[in-house]
Amino acid sequence: MYNVEKVYKDCNIRLSTKAMSDLMYAIIMTHATMVTSYGVGIYSYTRKQNSYNGCDVKILIEEGYIPLFEQLSGVKLKNPIQTSLN
């Protein structure tokens, strides 16, 4: 076995069916892990009402898979410190 460097990255996605489907597909194809998610004020709405809202997601991924993940999911991964400062 060899040691593979995994890193934490953050992204923001819409809660639409297509965006969530693309994110899940990217997670599966790149062997990534969705560590946590957080959305402000989204928990009291229905699925249809939330389709216009966003959610922050933390991903654990191998560095070599980041370009493929971004291509498949349609989101740009950011370093955790960049997300909290922007």
> How many C-beta atoms surround the C-beta of residue 25 within 10 A?
12
pLDDT for the residue 50: 87
Asked whether the predicted pLDDT for residue 85 surpasses 60, the reply is no
Q: What letter represents residue 10's amino acid?
A: D
Asked whether the predicted pLDDT for residue 81 surpasses 60, the reply is yes
Sign of CA dihedral 51, 55, 60, 61: positive
Q: In the chain, what are the domain boundaries?
A: 6-85
CATH architecture of the domain with range 6-85: 2-Layer Sandwich (3.30)
pLDDT for the residue 9: 94
Report how far residue 85's alpha carbon sits from residue 69's, in angstroms, rounded to the nearest whole number.
23
pLDDT tens, 29-64? Answer: 999 999 998 888 888 888 888 888 999 999 999 999
The model's pTM: 0.83
| Nearest in space to 47 (alpha carbons), one of 26, 19, 69 | 19
pLDDT for the residue 82: 57
pLDDT for the residue 3: 62
